[in-house]
Amino acid sequence: MSVDPVAISRTALDVEWQRMQFIAQNLANENTTRVAGGKAYRPVSLVSGPDQAFARLVAEGTRVAEPHGTRVLGVEVEGAGVRRVHDPRHPDADKDGFVTYPDIDHAHEMTELVKTARIYESNLTVMSLAQQMAMRALDIGRS
């Protein structure tokens, strides 16, 4: 057996940490009118999935593959919607006097934030439980 629960929880801590950075970036850019290059900011979210290579699934045949935790699969744009505000004195206003802001779904970002923090914490809990188990194994035969 070569599956380490502590290593598995560690992959999840990494992924959730990165997800948290994307959420923070979306919230921080709620009032950003343009990014480098002149375009409007697009909210992004992180996509993660189980860390299982297809080759390994084939190699192991019909048996269920050994678990290897999770990994980042990529980044996707959450939505291309924009919020247009009439503000002719803004330096980024267009010729009709409208400023374009990204349409960030505040409630969605906040629920994702709470969910991510919860999952991060519970992974930490399981990690410390697994660590305790490993330490207990060292007590075998000690009297």
Partner 1 sequence: MSAAPLTLAVASKALDGLSMRMAALANNLANAHSPRFQAVSVQFEDALRKASAKGPGAVEALQFHFQAGRAFALQDDRRVDLLVADAAQTAARYSALVEMLGERMSIEHAAMGGQG
Interface contacts to partner 1, rule CB under 8 A: 1, 3-6, 8-9, 11-12, 15-16, 19, 47-50, 63-70, 115-116, 118-119, 122-123, 125-127, 129-130, 132-133, 136-137, 139-143
CB 20 within 8 A of CB 115: no
Residue 56 beta carbon to partner 1: minimum distance, rounded to whole angstroms:
13
Q: Where are the beta strands (DSSP E) in the chain?
A: 44-50, 70-77, 82-86, 98-102
Residue 127 beta carbon to partner 1: minimum distance, rounded to whole angstroms:
8
Residue 104 beta carbon to partner 1: minimum distance, rounded to whole angstroms:
20
Decide whether 15 or 40 has the Cβ nearer to partner 1.
15
Q: Return the structure tokens found at 121.
A: 């914490």
Decide whether 16 or 40 has the Cβ nearer to partner 1.
16
Sort strands 98-102 and 82-86 into parallel, antiparallel or unpaired: antiparallel
Q: Return the structure tokens found at 116.
A: 């991510």
Sort strands 98-102 and 44-50 into parallel, antiparallel or unpaired: unpaired
Q: Return the structure tokens found at 71.
A: 């990994």
Decide whether 86 or 115 has the Cβ nearer to partner 1.
115
Residue 80 beta carbon to partner 1: minimum distance, rounded to whole angstroms:
21
Q: Return the structure tokens found at 137.
A: 């194994």
Decide whether 66 or 94 has the Cβ nearer to partner 1.
66
